[in-house]
Structure 1
Amino acid sequence: MKKIDKLVLDAIIGPFLITFLVVVFILLNVNMLKYFDDIIGKGLDYWTLGQLFFHFAVFTVPTAMPLAVLLSSLIAFGNLGEHFELTAIKASGVSLVRVLRPIFFFVLVLTAFAFYANNDLVPKSALEAYSLLYDIKQKKPALDLREGAFYNGINDISIKVNKKFPDGITLKDVIVYDHRKNDGNKEVTIADSGRMQTILNERYLKFELFNGFNYTEGASNEREVVGQKRNRNSETLSRSKFAKTQVVFDLSSFQMDRTDKKWFQSNRIMRNLGQLDGDIDSIRREILNQRLNHYLYRPSYFSYYLRKDTTIMPLEVYKHKLYRDSINSLPYRDKMHPQGEQQPPLPAKVIEQPPAKTEKPATTTEQPSTTATAKIEKKVTEKPAAVKKDTAPPTAFKKLDRPRALEHVRKRPIKKPAVKQETRKTESTVKPVLPAKKLPMTDSAFRAKVDSVFKIEPAAEVWQGAANTARQVKSQVQNANGSIDNYATELRIFEIQWHKIFASSFACIAMFLIGAPLGAIIKRGGLGVPFLVSILFFIVYYVLTMQGEKLAKQGNLSIIAGVWMADILLFITGLFFLRQARVDARLFEADFYSVIVDKIKRWFTQKKQRNQSQPV
């Protein structure tokens, strides 16, 4: 490694580590302020809080990494330019691109690490952080008795303390209402003083009460045993005095129960690239299923209207239909052809043609016709070509040699069709009844009959049934379209997250191309001007990213354009700053702009003089 490379790397590594930690700390505080009310007052231990903060800190890495690269490169090259080290390097014949080369490789390593963090670390940390935060929200607040107020945190128990001493244990004037029987305030304990402490690993709360009374209100025991109806006169009141008593309450509801993480891992921010690919494929298949079902159920929408009308499916829907049919037939195919059995070859596609019309041969009662005998002989003698030699026949028949089979077929008698014998009757006894000859209906009569049918006024039930059918069809179509739209929106969300893993990593390179040349142009080190410039560009990057994702989610912009818009614009801006830095442009000096203004004024003055000098 050359000395110039070591000089440049030493100038950026230190500021990068410091700025990265500072940015992560700032973003962590911003995120945790949103959940401040859910965390405070829950009595969480330091281990739980440490886990929560650590996972949320890892979750902020995709946002903190580009900002840290921008700020550190601005500080590094600003310091080199402020101390004229960059000027000396250029004077020695080393170009700015050569100075940026070691930092560029360092940024490539950071980009690879950012991609690893976005794809592996961030999904796991997001799953841990949000599942733990959900459990913290479900946890009850810690036991906190306040003076002069009822505490109802324990299930079916109300406790009031008039005075609580600084040690947090000693109490004065204690009142306890027991509502565990769900019959009102019929069990009350009043004590002059007491002590409160948790036992058995804070699973139970123990009260030691001194100098008090226990009041119990209820019906007499005899009436409760007999089952008589209670009345006001049958109520009893018992009071017992005690010098010291102990009351134990269960605090299991105050413990934090961890929920299974499988209920949270379906969120897009908790998925890596491989899982997102599977989710995207599943959503696309579900959209095709919805569209295919719409085409398949269309004939059932109406009973008569366009029932025989044919609709051509789109190509992607038809391919999905073939795929789904093949998947559904797999279990039956396995049953028809078990493992180890050779499956017969699939038959070739044959175009069915109608059989040619042939005259029926005259049959005789003695022997079968020549045509029938020839067909039978052909069936017996012909060897099937579709069946392979090594495959067994589907059914086991007794094999006969060919001559015996033909002889058996020829000698087989043919059954004569049974002829129904009708008893002949003389014409004198029975006179046949001829059916009435039906006259053909003319076209005008047929049209008149049809018109008469259509002119019949339909009943109210027919109108109501048609309206109900139309409403049902409309509701089904709207539900199908709504379901497809929801799946399409969810598909866009998962595709945005897939591209976002790459885009947030590539943002490190775009920020480096802005920060390093801009620092060489500004020539100001420290945290003043670089911090303001970095915040300005980061706000632009954040606004463009949010707006692009919003437009892509709504479908007004393509997924690639919406997610990569900020990176591409900042990359082009970085190339512009790099070109200006190579030619030593003074973009942030007042003299540069004053010269431009003077040139514009001089051009207007010359144009005015030229117009006045021309003859009228």
Structure 2
Amino acid sequence: MKILTRYLMRAHLGPFLFAFFALTGVILINTLAKRLADLAGKGLPVRVIMEFFVLALPATVALTFPMAVLVAVLFTFSTLTSENEITALKASGVDLRSLLAPLLVAAGVITAAMVVFNDRVLPEANHRWSQLIVDIGRKTPTFLLQEQTLNKISPETGGKTIFLRAARIQPGTNRMWDVQLFDVSDPSQLQSVFADSGRAMFSSNGIDMILQLYDGHTRSVNANEPTSFRRVYFQRQVFGIQGIGTQLQRNDRPDDYRGDREMTIGMLKAEIDTLAGQRSIHVREARQTARADMRYALTGKLPSAGGDPGAPTPGADFSAMNGVGEGSPATITRRAADALSNAQKAVENTDEQIRNYQVEIHKKYSIAVASLVFVIVGAPLALRFGGGGIGMVIATSMAVFSLYYVGLIGGESLAGKGVVTPLFAMWVVNVVMTILGVIGLATMGRESSSGRNSAWDAMLQGLRGLASLPFGRRARG
């Protein structure tokens, strides 16, 4: 049996690695296509682009790892069936269900590793990836100079607006000839620079632009003194323009905020505890408001600050229009209704946030357990429809993937709206597929239920019978 176990594990390894890398590559290409507009024209270095894909990789791996497990199981058992190895094992008295024992152990190890991965690696990668996306979005496009064109230079800070024109620009070195520079930042002070040649470069930080101009002069005209005109000649002049922003700015904002997909399980539970405390406060305030309004309706007296500990005072929710605690019943009732409505909305918003955090906690576990579920489901499917080749593997894999992830996404949406509980939403697909897989495992090895051709023939015969039933009735009539 040890030889058979090693043979099965080796048979699964190749298809698993191929499916894992292929699926991961396809999803990463899809991610690139979606984010291409954000990355293009930013002048990003290769290092930043590589970091972008590395940080997007954990979220992709969390999805493709269980998918690769299903593809490997389907392909391996389908190949064993088509090559009559399953028949040889059954003839040798080997129980087919015993073949799944090493696979279930390996899937259990993968599940445990994926739980740790989804809890530790994935949230941190998602957090850094979202920060990088924000930094890229805030980055200004790459500054490019075009010859025979008024190039607008607008620094990110300082509020300056400068136009630069050059008759000819040498690509690569940014050497310029017949340079004209116009500073229109201050309408009352018009400044312009004319030079025979120059060069544009950036400082070491990659943010500030440095212009070195040669053999030229500056012109300055003050609008308040139109009769004055100033001209200064120079052989070499250096101009600095700060804040062009061609370099990506990183970590220039607080690191406190994290979305639900950027939190570990411990962080999510801590947020749930905090929100539960806030919900208790909102509920207590709503009860106090309702109690005070009921007391006013029965006695006609406004509540006092010292009569009921924690009750709202007349100057808070029940303050009258004259500001001294006396007013019309309609005003007091309307304000009580507004206070109750606000408390109800606050409780509903808090409940929705708590449900979202609970969904994220269960999702980390349910997606990890998917590897184990796919082993239980994949083996009976491959044995029943074995011999179909790679086409069967692709079609079955796509069908199972679609059902699983559509159910997961739909359950997440329903749980967010409060239609179902987060526990039910995230685990119902795993439970249903596990039940179906166990039923399939119970029938493995039975000749009456394992023939692929007989199953398809029976299905086709049933469809033919249903289709010919109306025509048969007409013929008999």
> Cα distance, 1:573 vs. partner?
2.9
Q: Distance in 2 between matches of 1:525 and 1:54?
A: 37
1:24 and 1:61 in contact (8 A); partners too: yes
> Cα distance, 1:258 vs. partner?
0.9
2:154 and 2:244 in contact (8 A); partners too: no
Judging changes above 3 Å, is the alpha-carbon distance between structure 1 residues 30 and 599 closer, same or farther for their aligned structure 2 residues? closer
In structure 2, give the amino acid aligned to 1:537: V
- 2:417 matches 1:536: no
Judging changes above 3 Å, is the alpha-carbon distance between structure 1 residues 153 and 570 closer, same or farther for their aligned structure 2 residues? farther
- 2:286 matches 1:294: yes
> Cα distance, 1:464 vs. partner?
8.3
In structure 1, give the amino acid aligned to 2:398: I
Q: Distance in 2 between matches of 1:127 and 1:113?
A: 21
1:12 and 1:72 in contact (8 A); partners too: yes
Give the superposed CA RMSD. Answer: 3.2
Query: 1:476 matched to which residue of 2?
Result: 339
> Cα distance, 1:598 vs. partner?
4.4
1:76 and 1:525 in contact (8 A); partners too: no
Judging changes above 3 Å, is the alpha-carbon distance between structure 1 residues 592 and 54 closer, same or farther for their aligned structure 2 residues? same
Q: Secondary structure in 1 aligned to 2:297? A: coil
- 2:365 matches 1:502: yes
Query: 2:152 matched to which residue of 1?
Result: 151
> Cα distance, 1:513 vs. partner?
1.8
In structure 2, give the amino acid aligned to 1:282: T
Query: 1:106 matched to which residue of 2?
Result: 106
> Cα distance, 1:487 vs. partner?
0.4
1:161 and 1:172 in contact (8 A); partners too: no
1:161 and 1:171 in contact (8 A); partners too: no
> Cα distance, 1:214 vs. partner?
2.1
Q: Secondary structure in 2 aligned to 1:582? A: coil
> Cα distance, 1:57 vs. partner?
0.4
Q: Distance in 1 between matches of 2:233 and 2:21?
A: 64
In structure 1, give the amino acid aligned to 2:257: F
Query: 1:421 matched to which residue of 2?
Result: none
In structure 2, give the amino acid aligned to 1:48: V
Partner of residue 251 from structure 2, selected from 243, 247, 258: 258
1:123 and 1:269 in contact (8 A); partners too: yes
Query: 1:22 matched to which residue of 2?
Result: 22
Q: Distance in 1 between matches of 2:465 and 2:329?
A: 83
Deviations 1:215-271 (A, max 9, x none): 21215xxxxxxxxxx4xx645332344454322222474441314563333x21122
Deviations 1:447-489 (A, max 9, x none): xxxxxxxxxxxxxxx9984443333222212111111111011
- 2:388 matches 1:520: no
2:90 and 2:445 in contact (8 A); partners too: no
Judging changes above 3 Å, is the alpha-carbon distance between structure 1 residues 48 and 184 closer, same or farther for their aligned structure 2 residues? farther
Partner of residue 170 from structure 2, selected from 146, 165, 170: 165
Query: 1:377 matched to which residue of 2?
Result: none
1:385-404 equivalent positions in 2, closer than 5 A? none
- 2:130 matches 1:130: yes
Q: Distance in 2 between matches of 1:484 and 1:104?
A: 44
Judging changes above 3 Å, is the alpha-carbon distance between structure 1 residues 567 and 43 closer, same or farther for their aligned structure 2 residues? same
Deviations 1:331-370 (A, max 9, x none): xxxxxxxxxxxxxxxxxxxxxxxxxxxxxxxxxxxxxxxx
In structure 2, give the amino acid aligned to 1:26: V
> Cα distance, 1:117 vs. partner?
0.8
- 2:453 matches 1:594: no
Q: Distance in 2 between matches of 1:594 and 1:136?
A: 58
Query: 1:378 matched to which residue of 2?
Result: none
1:322-337 equivalent positions in 2, closer than 5 A? none
Query: 2:201 matched to which residue of 1?
Result: 197
Deviations 1:16-75 (A, max 9, x none): 122222222222232343332222333333333333221210122221122111111112
Query: 2:141 matched to which residue of 1?
Result: 141
Of the structure 1 ranges 59-68 and 468-477, higher mean CA displacement relative to structure 2 is found in 468-477
Give TM-score, length-normalised by structure 2.
0.82
Q: Secondary structure in 2 aligned to 1:183? A: coil
1:75 and 1:525 in contact (8 A); partners too: no
Judging changes above 3 Å, is the alpha-carbon distance between structure 1 residues 475 and 184 closer, same or farther for their aligned structure 2 residues? farther
Structure 1 residue ranges (4+ consecutive) displaced by more than 6 angstroms after TM superposition: 599-605
Q: Secondary structure in 2 aligned to 1:306? A: helix
Partner of residue 215 from structure 1, selected from 216, 219, 224: 219
Judging changes above 3 Å, is the alpha-carbon distance between structure 1 residues 241 and 260 closer, same or farther for their aligned structure 2 residues? closer
1:131 and 1:261 in contact (8 A); partners too: no
Count of matched residue pairs: 442
Q: Secondary structure in 2 aligned to 1:523? A: coil
Query: 1:237 matched to which residue of 2?
Result: 229
> Cα distance, 1:282 vs. partner?
1.7
**Structure with the larger RCO, 1 or 2 (CA within 8 Å, 6+ apart):** 1
- 2:428 matches 1:565: yes
Deviations 1:148-196 (A, max 9, x none): 253334241433345433324123443323355x436711223343222
Judging changes above 3 Å, is the alpha-carbon distance between structure 1 residues 290 and 596 closer, same or farther for their aligned structure 2 residues? closer
Structure of higher CA gyration radius:
1
Q: Distance in 2 between matches of 1:529 and 1:602?
A: 26
Deviations 1:307-338 (A, max 9, x none): 589xxxxxxxxxxx9xxxxxxxxxxxxxxxxx
- 2:408 matches 1:545: yes
> Cα distance, 1:586 vs. partner?
5.5
Deviations 1:498-553 (A, max 9, x none): 11111111111121222222223333476433123212211111111111111111
In structure 2, give the amino acid aligned to 1:154: P
2:214 and 2:236 in contact (8 A); partners too: yes
Of the structure 1 ranges 525-534 and 48-57, higher mean CA displacement relative to structure 2 is found in 525-534
In structure 1, give the amino acid aligned to 2:281: N
Q: Distance in 2 between matches of 1:540 and 1:254?
A: 46
Q: Secondary structure in 1 aligned to 2:194? A: strand
> Cα distance, 1:201 vs. partner?
4.5
Q: Distance in 2 between matches of 1:252 and 1:74?
A: 56
Structure 1: state its 5+ residue gaps.
220-229, 310-320, 322-461
> Cα distance, 1:588 vs. partner?
5.0
Q: Secondary structure in 2 aligned to 1:518? A: helix
Q: Secondary structure in 2 aligned to 1:495? A: helix
Query: 1:361 matched to which residue of 2?
Result: none
Q: Distance in 1 between matches of 2:175 and 2:31?
A: 39
2:142 and 2:246 in contact (8 A); partners too: yes
In structure 2, give the amino acid aligned to 1:178: D
Q: Distance in 2 between matches of 1:558 and 1:103?
A: 32
Partner of residue 272 from structure 2, selected from 280, 283, 295: 280
Query: 1:68 matched to which residue of 2?
Result: 68
> Cα distance, 1:285 vs. partner?
1.7
Judging changes above 3 Å, is the alpha-carbon distance between structure 1 residues 536 and 51 closer, same or farther for their aligned structure 2 residues? same
Query: 2:313 matched to which residue of 1?
Result: none
Q: Distance in 2 between matches of 1:496 and 1:301?
A: 38
Judging changes above 3 Å, is the alpha-carbon distance between structure 1 residues 125 and 599 closer, same or farther for their aligned structure 2 residues? closer
Give TM-score, length-normalised by structure 1.
0.65
1:58 and 1:121 in contact (8 A); partners too: yes
Deviations 1:74-94 (A, max 9, x none): 122222222222222222111
- 2:16 matches 1:31: no
Q: Distance in 2 between matches of 1:78 and 1:194?
A: 71
1:158 and 1:178 in contact (8 A); partners too: yes
Deviations 1:400-433 (A, max 9, x none): xxxxxxxxxxxxxxxxxxxxxxxxxxxxxxxxxx
Identity, in percent, stands at 23
1:202 and 1:251 in contact (8 A); partners too: no
